[in-house]
Amino acid sequence: DWKWAPSKGKGKLYSWTIAHMPMHPAFVADVPYVAAVVELEEGVRLVSLLRSAVLEDLVLDMPVKVQFERVTDSFQLPVFVPA
């Protein structure tokens, strides 16, 4: 069973790739961008974007923390930044 649970919003970089083609028209202005798999401290892994990171500095297990980007007045996306 799936259920919602609180998270501290901290984790580590588990995997990543550099996207040169947007996965959705809303991301055209963002290419290239880092699509990342983040492992939260609570053990959950999720796919998100990694913002404000220097590509040459990306390493496995790099500490990251969540931020929220407002997409519309009623919708926000969780993204991660280096901690």
Over the stretch 3-18, which tens digit does the pLDDT of each residue have? 999 999 999 999 999 9
Question: ∠44-1-78 over CA atoms, to 5°?
Answer: 35
Q: pLDDT band for position 1 (50/70/90)? A: confident
Over the stretch 21-55, which tens digit does the pLDDT of each residue have? 998 898 899 999 999 999 999 999 999 999 999 99
Using the structure block, give the residue that is written with the tokens 């053990």. 43
Using the structure block, give the residue that is written with the tokens 């919003």. 9
Give the domain ranges of the chain: 10-82
Question: ∠37-35-18 over CA atoms, to 5°?
Answer: 125
**pLDDT for 50:** 98
Dihedral (CA of 69, 31, 62, 43) sign? positive
Taking a C-beta distance cutoff of 8 angstroms, is the pair 77, 68 a contact?
yes
- pTM, full prediction: 0.89
